[in-house]
Amino acid sequence: MSWHKDRRGERGYHHGNLKEALLQAALGLIAEKGPAGFTFADAARTAGVSAAAPYRHFRDRDDLLASIAQRGFEQFEATLTAAWDDGRPDTVSAFERIGKAYLNFARTEPAFYSAMFESGVPADSSPELAAAGERAFGVIRAAAERLAALTPPGVTRPPAMMMALHIWSLSHGVASLFGRGDAARRKLPMSPEDLLEAGALIYLRGLGFPADQKPPQADISSAPRSGPWGTAPK
């Protein structure tokens, strides 16, 4: 951020960086106190501006949190997309990388993770936030559809969308309880990665995949995909 002296000798804020300064201030407060532990005025104070200044860019505190969550989902999508790498070199290996990437994001970006999933801001509070969440979920749904296409013949499996929600729930549960990068992380007698890998193996076994080898590849269409990240049935 940049500052200047006005004619009265008081410290004034260079408005060109105000929005970013507020986002960074709020991220720091989330990391310190959690998404519910600060007020709109606290964010303004931390950014070094008046209590009225944030209203130039945000309607209220929830709007500020929604903007942070949106940015988090955008970074999350990029992380998962890189890990998935369009299913190369094989679907199961790529699927395993997504799980590790999920845990790594929760560990290295706890403030974003909290804003995305624990702030209480509705996932559809803004079109931009909803779209960012959908794109991130779309990466997991792509993996689930590939896995569904590889289910051994004669094995009954849930719909691909339900598989995506199962995978999301498993990854999110391990990340939220044992893989996060803040003080809320629970102790675990193994690594979160090992726990998630074992859970995924049990899940795949339940669908009939051999335990000692990866399922054979199959050609499937690459139709556009999307999913209801954050809006799964409760």
pLDDT digits (tens, 9 = 90+) for 31-76: 999 999 999 999 999 999 999 999 999 999 999 999 999 999 999 9
Instruction: Give the tokens for residue 121.
Output: 């801001």
Quote the pLDDT of residue 2.
35
pLDDT band for position 82 (cuts 50, 70, 90): very high
Quote the pLDDT of residue 230.
44
Nearest in space to 68 (alpha carbons), one of 31, 33, 111: 111
Quote the pLDDT of residue 5.
35
Quote the pLDDT of residue 16.
64
Q: How far apart are CA 123 and CA 131, in angstroms?
A: 9
Q: Please, what's the b/e burial string for 77-89 (b: 16 or more CB within 10 A of its CB; e: otherwise)?
A: bebbbebbeebee
pLDDT digits (tens, 9 = 90+) for 134-144: 999 999 999 99
pLDDT at 30 over 80: yes
pLDDT band for position 211 (cuts 50, 70, 90): low
Quote the pLDDT of residue 180.
86
* Confidence (pTM): 0.81
* Across 182-208, average pLDDT: 91
What is the 3-state composition of the chain as percent helix, strand, coil, each rounded to the nearest 5? 60, 5, 35
Strand-pair category, 11-13 with 3-5: antiparallel
* Across 119-141, average pLDDT: 95
Of residues 77 and 227, the one with the higher pLDDT is 77
